[in-house]
Amino acid sequence: MAIELYWGSGSPFAWRVMLTLEVKGLPYESKLLEFSKGENKAPAYLLLNPRGKVPTLKDGDAADIGVFPLVQLLLRAASKEAARPLNLGLLPLAQTFPNVARWVQRIEALPNYQRTYPPHWRE
């Protein structure tokens, strides 16, 4: 049985869980709740998540809520072999976004630009 993810459009908390599922390549069934219709306050959904918030992850009979515990659970459940590379088509930057690349070059050419780096970037 696949994982069921209950989520709502515009929820950054749900996006974190969805991204984790996608990056780790875990199969899941997407259940979009429409806030405008009050689907997150429907009695059936309140049985899964009494707070009526998203996201909610249902695996079999167990349902879990809370973004960071969900992400940690998914990361532990996914093996490294299940992960697939993200080929977003954004690189090389100079070819994909030439205006942005020129802007970055101009910023990096400013005097003392390197001093603005956080300490962990300077290594």
Say how far apart CA 11 and CA 107 lie, in whole Å.
Answer: 33
| Predicted TM-score (pTM) above 0.75 | no
Looking at residue 122, the DSSP 8-state letter turns out to be: -
pLDDT at 90: 66
Say how far apart CA 79 and CA 7 lie, in whole Å.
Answer: 24
Q: Say which CATH topology domain 3-82 has.
A: Glutaredoxin (3.40.30)
Give ranges for CATH 3.40.30.10 in the chain: 3-82
At 37, the pLDDT band (50, 70, 90 cuts) reads very high
At 38, the pLDDT band (50, 70, 90 cuts) reads very high
Number of neighbouring beta carbons within 10 Å of residue 72:
12
Say how far apart CA 113 and CA 7 lie, in whole Å.
Answer: 42
* 10 token code pair: 């515009």
Please tell me the least confidently modeled range out of 50-54, 72-76, 94-98, 109-113.
Answer: 72-76
Side chain identity at residue 47, one-letter code:
L
